[in-house]
Amino acid sequence: MFFRKKSLQSNQPDAAARAVHTLAENHNLTPAQHARCATWADRLQQLYDGADAYCARHGIDPALAFPDNEWRDIVPRTGATFRKTYNDINYLRLNAPFAGYHLPILDRLDVRSFPDDFGAGLVTRLGRDGIPDGIAAELDRLYAARDRLSPLVPEYLEFVRNVPPRYHVRTPRMLGEIGIEVDGVLVNADVILCQSRINAMLSGGVLDKLERDIARHGRARVVEVGSGWGALGYALRAILGDRLEYVAIDLPTSLYCAALYLGVTHDWQNSHLLLPDDPVPDSFEFLFVANYMMEEVADRIGPVDLALNCMSFPEMSAAQVRSYGVFFQRVLRVDGVVFDENAAIKPHHTDSKAILGSLFPFRRPVSAGLIKTKNDCQDIWASRYLGEIFDRSDAMYLRR
């Protein structure tokens, strides 16, 4: 077996009996699900290939539309081919290291926790050639006797301490997910990061606000720019149910991941991938929008209750961040808020906090006392003073 289903060796008494959920144990896509994903991959390819012509037709500044700053070197402006093979979609998460953690090696490549015994080569090969047949058996062989997950268990347990179970992040057992079982949840580093973001939104009163929005307006609409493979959208939807309307805005190459991941895991119910000139539906569950179509949808996407950006504004150009900030101002409801988790830690990073600060007069850094959050760079922004958010140091204390 890839990871022994039996006990994992660990000093932690907690981890002693935990099983690991392997790639081989996931649910595989049905042929019908794969076919539908392939159709969406074609539409995403159309969005990618058509970006230049769209910008020319609609007078969109290419400097805003095409990947810039860190992403200029990650995503080619032309010539990319969107993968449609069964393996590439069925194991989507193996090629989606948006937060730096690579599932095939259960480690980061930039700051390694484990020796690079095979990791970089494997990641490069999967990225370049796609996912081969027999990947589950291959990882099985590579990882035999390497336990990279049980060290995460004590950390994970810290992140769910004092968090009501309905806010525990859960991931689907499909699309390439791998994790260690903890109280019915599949845990890996990406799950811990997502839990930390949910915890910050809990402490900041943002999740309470969305629940009030649903009670008042019958729905809560959330827009996320730079959604990666859709982890946060998946978690919010699991917590708030089908009255959450979630919009992902991203470069077509990344939107591919979120659209397929969220589409297939929610059976495409009321999910839409917009092509140019498509109408914006009045209501939806998931809406996927290519970044360069932001202007086209701006007047029809609101009112939005929450705008999100995590770990991505600093990687864009200052002009792109400013244009998203202005877009947020434009589409947010009067009592709408922005939640961001960003830090300019590398010399080329854009100081996105300064840009948001120039656009939103009210800022509340999230301070979590009762529950744990990972990164000390989470803020809530608003255009006007909102007592329900700003009068509290930590909304979790209200639950005691």
Ligand X SMILES: C[S@@+](CC[C@H](N)C(=O)[O-])C[C@H]1O[C@@H](n2cnc3c(N)ncnc32)[C@H](O)[C@@H]1O
Q: What is the pattern of x (binds ligand X, CB under 6 A) and - over residues 134-173?
A: ----------------------------------------
Name which position in 15, 29, 180, 251 contacts ligand X (CB under 6 A): 251
Q: Residue 357: what residue type?
A: G
CB 296 within 8 A of CB 287: no
Name which position in 311, 366, 368, 382 contacts ligand X (CB under 6 A): 311
Q: Which stretch binds ligand X (CB under 6 A): 14-22, 174-182, 265-273, 306-314?
A: 306-314
- For residues 55 and 64, give the distance between their C-alpha atoms in angstroms, rounded to a whole number: 10
| Helix spans in 19-80 (H) | 31-49, 51-58, 62-65
Q: Which stretch binds ligand X (CB under 6 A): 139-147, 162-170, 248-256, 364-372?
A: 248-256
Residue located via tokens 């400013």: 322
If 0-12 CB within 10 Å is exposed, 13-18 middle and 19+ buried, where does residue 319 land? middle
Q: For ligand X, give the closer residue by CB, 214 or 318.
A: 318
Q: Assess 315 for contact with ligand X (CB under 6 A).
A: yes
Find out whether the peptide bond into 365 is cis, omega within 30 degrees of 0.
no
Q: Assess 254 for contact with ligand X (CB under 6 A).
A: yes
Q: Give which of 33, 20, 27 is closest to 174, Cα–Cα.
A: 27
- For residues 310 and 373, give the distance between their C-alpha atoms in angstroms, rounded to a whole number: 14
CB 339 within 8 A of CB 206: yes
Count, residues near ligand X per rule CB under 6 A: 20
Q: Assess 98 for contact with ligand X (CB under 6 A).
A: yes
Q: Assess 340 for contact with ligand X (CB under 6 A).
A: no
Q: Which stretch binds ligand X (CB under 6 A): 12-20, 167-175, 219-227, 383-391?
A: 219-227
Q: Assess 310 for contact with ligand X (CB under 6 A).
A: yes
* Binding positions for ligand X, rule: CB under 6 A: 67, 71, 98-99, 225-228, 231, 249-251, 254, 291, 310-312, 315-316, 320
